[in-house]
Structure 1
């Protein structure tokens, strides 16, 4: 057996101190060499073959005085949010976190939209590993969706993300991740485990992470209370906790007795902040990528003295109003060529972001079969402040430092010039026979590029009297969608145009036949002269059908008559 650490430019051999089996698992105790460079490393083990876990070892040379935490939550990978892929918000947030002076990032649940969606779990795993800061993750109710306890642990979240609850010690700090499950609370067994951890590290500054907030949505206030009188707090509790008052009481007891400094949560897709007993900060953050008022994240700073500070939009008071940084309107992402011989950075910041960054740090993986000197910069080259290429696990790990642009910009790092156009095709549209001036048309397109990548896709349309252009929205990798508005036409010519990052373009055209709306009834009648010439034959007034009241009256009279007949019949029978 052997063990080593990998990071861009580093390959560090570890000493195996010991190994043993426990509960069907192999545990290995390792020792890092003196003088190791601080930073984030992949851990690799050779146990019948090499296995590596990316970014799983965080090396510090001194204990931190404070922890500056980027708080992301409710990512819901690969869903559409107001026509935008949630993954684009996630990529933007990742690149911002990499550029910010934060120590680590935490994700407090609903990382995917459906817990059994393996494709989304793999996407979440892949994108999370682009964060060049330590990341700590807990599950939410969506991560549990369509799973049971066994499959959740063995096939889905447990396999692709990690344990549902855990703890980490970082110098003077204890961070504990909890699982509020599908139902929205921490069960008794987990609370018992939590107390064992808190008591074992009672001298540490404590931070809890969980998905469902203890207090209800949109609550901004300071108040005092006691777990012994939790009924007085019940109006302020989130519903899933209010319905499990015993578990809520026990959690609050642990928070109070072990002096927890901060509890970071999500789930409700909006901000909230409760400062409890002047000591514990219950911080709820807006969704990072899902549906809601807007998408964003916060920064939470925890000092070694237990103090807490929430950092967000300038001029906003986090204890009075929503204050998360705003991701809407910003796009910072990396587009890689299939062979990784080129990577393009798209940087389109929004003035509404509320975050002033002098520069962006973008991390890329490039094909190491090409000489380092073959990689050149294209696009908005004046934004480039520095490029660093280091060997890393069979690739070049590139760090691209850019001046934060005020307008949309692209920078490509490539080992070749791209002279080949992309490919684009109009796949289908619906409805197949739209009605003029009434029906909108949904157009589905495919665009791909073997070179630097597709920069934009648009749809151009033309009628006898009108021309227009609509930018296509990305619906998935390589797939795009456009909504064509209702048009007053018999035929519309549509052209899909794709442009790559080198400026090469391609197009595909088709014509859509439109049905004409039916004419009004009086117009149809006016187009039938033979019927107009005929004079209607006088007819006797039609008999009006009896009203329901008349029918009911008749029925009642008949019923009364029948009853009377029966009574007379019985009386006659008695006389006989």
Structure 2
């Protein structure tokens, strides 16, 4: 009996050990599977577009500038390419390109093709469509906005410069920035790194590419530290292409460099940049663009706007004074070499981002030549309290000169911070507004309506010339059948697929002003409507209650022009501090209206009057009662971004799940397993 009891106890212990080991394996497997599923690299995502996976150049992130009648260079990352054809296309026209030469370039380690641009091509930006065969496989690849055709090389360029959005968290700011770029209509845009928060997060690329592809103008992308996953930029290279490259537009030379994950440029890359500068020594305007700044915060804090009579020998003084950005101090040999290149080869502009705030200084060398070191504000979600999101808009010339009035917002001094052109009122500032240049088409601009209105409101103290305004109208009526308010503007008219594309010419948007046009072939006698007036939020801060009211209005005729809103309480009538346009689509226009009220106010009567572009109007009054105080918020944004970057949320979920599994395991271990005797 004792022997039998001993045997049963040993078997039970053995079974318990086996089951416990199985539990360990099961729990460990579950943890590993969860982690793997939570961080699947975006390389397997079908949504992300790998522009540079097969075609290396040109790309939407690196367009090719080319003259009419000249050769367009195409690089393909395959050895065997045949039956190659190319087409360039935009919404108005398309052109078949003739193949001049095709060969495998051993030095570049890729297949190269040279196509002739026709002499009758309209100078603008085009998509490139490539068709070819390689090893029996047929390819058809579209590289959007990748061929930039000129009549002749420009003497001046309007360059819009920005950086750092870090999607998914910064998507609402990037979206507003893209809308602004499309209205202002620069010659080119350079976006300087930190496109995404983390390159292995699929949604980050999905959101960035969604808005990136909506940009109308030629756009050049520079890599930032957030495009690195550890020491690797492989994902960026497959989506956006080269991490360092040069662009020549006539007498303009732009050199894009990679400061890597730690904020410095390796010597081999600097040697490459020097070769490019030597080969293009006679170019009139030279610029370097990289992510981490050369000069650091001390330049801003001490308002060091100009450094005069500087030579390469003064580099050590700059180091000793603590003027360099911190990431360069462990790489002073590289910093010195970079500074030497800038002075020796007369690099006019050095454009950087990364710090999420403006930093500016001008270095005047011993030859009296100016070198503009500009670090721009950005459009990221994580900026300092009260700092603005924004961009720069330079006017540069092929002889090497810069219109210094365009270095900073409204012609400010470079030490009168903030110096970027703002797209918002500042982080944490109430009332908060995102979008200081607002515009919309009403009711819609889709080629289906015989009446369309355009309105742009500029709340900035800066005038913008040659903004982009284009109406799309049904083409079953001639252009002369359409009438205009206030008057017929200068325009270019194209008829494509039964639609009229009417591009207005030389439209100026003055500072602190608005521009309106209505084109119509039908009258509008119907009044607009107020769809809803509701309380969005109440924020109490510093003895003030901010009442935020949602107002949505509608007009399906010529479209909504404006709304007037006021609030009444205790026989007092107050006007709003801010009326913020949130969205305009399909006749609906939505606003957030901010009222500044005493905290004791518990009920207001909101009156709304809406007027359309045909001067029809409607009004409504609504009583709104305070439902109870809500928590103070930092700022009210048009769209809600992720308050915590998505990769951190994934990490937190993984940790919490593993912790729960371990607790379950401990409970099982404490209770033991009751094995059934066979």
Kept in 2, the 8 Å contact 1:207–1:263? The answer is: yes
How far did residue 220 of structure 1 move? 1.6
Q: CA deviation at 1:16?
A: 2.1
- Say whether residues 1:461 and 2:555 are aligned partners: no
2:404 to 306, 310, 321: 310
Q: 1:244 to 1:365 in 2, by over 3 A?
A: farther
Residue-by-residue CA offset, 1:399-424 (whole Å, 9 max, x unaligned): 11366466433113356555474563
- Which blocks of at least 5 consecutive residues in structure 1 are unaligned? 518-576
Structure 1 position 284, deviation (Å): 0.9
Question: For the residues of structure 1 that align with 2:215 and 2:221, how far apart are their CA atoms?
Answer: 10
Q: Are 1:352 and 2:455 counterparts?
A: no
Question: Which residue of 1 is the match for residue 293 of structure 2?
Answer: 213
Write the deviation string for residues 455-479 of structure 1: whole angstroms up to 9, x where unpaired. Answer: 4456543445234443532346665
Q: Distance in 1 between matches of 2:144 and 2:447?
A: 19
1:339 pairs with one of 446, 458, 470: 446
CA contact (8 A) 1:79 1:86 kept: no
- 8 Å Cα contact 1:459-1:496 kept in structure 2: yes
Q: TM-score, normalised by structure 1?
A: 0.67
TM-score of the pair, normalised by structure 2:
0.58
Counterpart mapping for 1:91-240 below 5 A: 91-92=179-180, 94-98=182-186, 104-109=188-193, 117-118=204-205, 120-122=207-209, 124-129=211-216, 131=217, 134-140=218-224, 149-154=233-238, 158=239, 163-181=242-260, 183-188=262-267, 190-205=269-284, 206-216=286-296, 217-218=299-300, 219-225=304-310, 230-234=315-319, 235-240=322-327
Task: Return the match for 1:252 from 332, 335, 339.
Answer: 339
Q: Does residue 412 of the first structure (1) align with residue 518 of the second (2)?
A: yes
Whole-Å separation in 2 of the counterparts to 1:500 and 1:54: 37
Residue in 2 aligned with 1:397?
501
Equivalent residues of 2:165, 2:173 under 8 A apart:
no
Instruction: Write the distance in 1 (CA, Å) between the matches of 2:160 and 2:497.
Output: 29
Q: Distance in 2 between matches of 1:475 and 1:344?
A: 18
How far the C-alpha of 1:250 sits from its partner, in A, is 3.4
Q: Which residue of 1 aligns with 2:360?
A: 272
Q: 1:75 touches 1:110 (CA, 8 Å); kept in 2?
A: yes
Matched ranges for 1:410-559 at <5 A:
410-414=516-520, 416-417=522-523, 419=526, 421=528, 424-426=531-533, 429-430=536-537, 439-446=545-552, 453-456=559-562, 459-463=565-569, 465-470=571-576, 472-475=579-582, 480-484=591-595, 485-486=597-598, 488-489=600-601, 491-494=603-606, 500-503=612-615, 511-514=623-626
The match for 1:45 is 130
Paired with 1:303 and 1:36, the residues of 2 have a C-alpha distance of 24
User: In the TM superposition, what are the counterparts of 1:282-297 in structure 2 within 5 Å?
Assistant: 282-284=372-374, 286-287=376-377, 292=387, 295=390, 297=392
- Superposed CA RMSD in Å reads 4.9
Structure 1 window deviating more from structure 2 (451-460 vs 310-319): it is: 310-319
Name structure 2 gaps, 5 residues minimum.
Answer: 1-83, 133-137, 381-385, 424-434, 630-678
Change (3 A) 1:75 1:56: same
How far apart, CA to CA, are the structure 2 residues paired with 1:140 and 1:255? Answer: 21
Question: 3-state SS of the aligned residue for 1:70?
Answer: strand
Does structure 2 conserve the Cα–Cα contact (< 8 Å) formed by 1:424 and 1:507? no
Could you say what secondary structure the match of 1:240 adopts?
A: helix
Task: Tell me if the contact between 1:71 and 1:285 (Cα under 8 Å) persists in the aligned partners.
Answer: no
Q: Give the greater-gyration-radius structure (CA).
A: 1
Between the aligned partners of 1:29 and 1:120, the Cα distance in structure 2 is 34
Give the distance between the partners of 1:14 and 1:415, measured in 2 at CA.
39
Q: What residue number does 2:472 align with?
A: 366
8 Å Cα contact 1:213/1:267 also seen in 2:
yes
Structure 1 segment 55-70 matched on structure 2, within 5 A: 55-64=145-154, 66-70=155-159
Q: Please, which moves more after superposition, 462-471 or 318-327?
A: 318-327
CA distance, structure 2, for counterparts of residue 459 and residue 15 of structure 1: 60
Aligned mate of 1:301, from 393, 396, 415: 396
Distance 1:486 1:120, change over 3 A: farther
Change (3 A) 1:110 1:367: farther
- CA drift of 1:14 comes to 0.9
Aligned residues: 493
- Give CA deviations for 1:497-530 in whole Å, capped at 9, x if unaligned: 665545566777754444899xxxxxxxxxxxxx
More divergent stretch after superposition (17-26 vs 417-426): 17-26
